[in-house]
Amino acid sequence: MSTVLLEARMATVAAAVEVELAALLPAAEGAQARLNEAMRYAALGGGKRLRPFLVAATAELFGITGAAPIRVGAAVELIHAYSLVHDDLPAMDDAALRRGRPSCHRAFDEATAILAGDALQALAFEVLARDDYGADPGQRCRLVRKLAEASGALGMCGGQMIDLLAERQELTVAEITTLQRLKTGAIIGFSCEAGAVLGRAGSAETEALRGYAHDLGLAFQIKDDLLDLEGDSAVTGKDSGRDSEVGKATFVRRLGVAGARAKLEELRRSALGRLDIFGDSARVLGQLFAFVIDRRS
């Protein structure tokens, strides 16, 4: 499959998830309309929807298409959106912009943004638990539990905590790996494993998808670091990773640019190896890996 075809498939999933989210999010009406409006602002119109695509692509390995992967993808995006709203708050990263628009607390206010994040999280679990998308109760419970684990204290929230603490101290490569495995890796891991849950995969296949997700999550982060560096270089004229990333725990800072690129290549080989068990049907996941490490933004 060519990159153009991959991007077309990603766009198709993204469009379906957008429609699903628009229907699942509360309409901006009623006495609390401002809250609902902030939730829609934060969750709609955003990004490449990489995580839902992982749900759809892994579910398809087991012949599962239709409503279920889109619903699960929408739930993941609700969690992703809430985490961005809270990460952008003044007490956290204090970001004024998100996806080229004012961040949620700038567009509304801080209290509304805190509540919108909270309500987006609740909505994610609500829509996973509902019986209207073709998953049985056992599958829905597993999805709720796994998404909660991936986003909670031993997943995304824990990673964010370590990231905040890291601003005060140097981390080793092993510690940065732990940080990223929790902060971004856990939700990517959920997205891949969700396909296995929907497809009632055996343990070998589930394990293979976990391994792929691990490699992909790490590669995603290393590529992000490299892009940050290149972005900074263009703007600041600096070419030293050390100066431009002071106070941030990044792989590039620890491994250097050449080391980071070598690590990407190592992860690519590992990820493709994990997919062997699925044969030709996993080609889209291989392409996706290449897409992630070759992207320019």
**What residue ranges bind a copy of itself (CB under 8 A)?**
26, 30-32, 34-36, 39, 82-83, 86, 89, 91-92, 109-112, 114-115, 117-119, 121-123, 125-126, 128-131, 136-138, 140-142, 144-145, 148-149, 151-155, 157-162, 164-165, 175, 178-179, 182
Min dist CB 170 to a copy of itself, Å, is 13
DSSP state of 27: P
- Residue 101's beta-bridge partner residues? 98
Nearer to a copy of itself, 110 or 266 (CB): 110
Least separation in angstroms between residue 76's CB and a copy of itself is 13
Listed in sequence order, the residues at least 6 apart from 258 whose beta carbon sits closer than 8 Å to its beta carbon are none
Angle among Cα 69, 75, 81 to the nearest 5 degrees reads 130
Mapped onto helix, strand or coil, the DSSP state of residue 276 is: helix
Instruction: Select 118 or 207, whichever has its Cβ closest to a copy of itself.
Output: 118
Q: Which is nearer to a copy of itself, 168 or 296 (CB)?
A: 168
Provide, rounded to whole angstroms, the least separation between the CB of residue 226 and a copy of itself: 24
Query: CA 168 → CA 164, 165, 247, 275, distances in Å?
Result: 8, 6, 7, 39
Q: How many residues does the chain have?
A: 297
Q: Which is nearer to a copy of itself, 109 or 239 (CB)?
A: 109
Q: How far is the CB of 251 from a copy of itself (least distance, A)?
A: 17
Category of 107 on φ-ψ map: left (φ > 0), alpha (ψ -120 to 50) or beta: alpha
Q: Can you read off the two tokens belonging to residue 266?
A: 């190592």
- Least distance to a copy of itself, CB of residue 50, Å: 21
SS3 41: helix
How far apart are CB 186 and a copy of itself at their closest, in Å?
Answer: 11
Neighbours of 276 (CB within 10 A): 9
Residue with tokens 């991959």: 6
- CA distance linking residue 188 with residue 147, whole number of Å: 10
Q: Toward a copy of itself, which CB reaches closer, 7 or 167?
A: 167
Closest CB 38 distance from a copy of itself, rounded Å:
9
CB nearer to a copy of itself: give 23 or 262.
Answer: 23
Token reading at 216: 């992909």
Nearer to a copy of itself, 15 or 141 (CB): 141
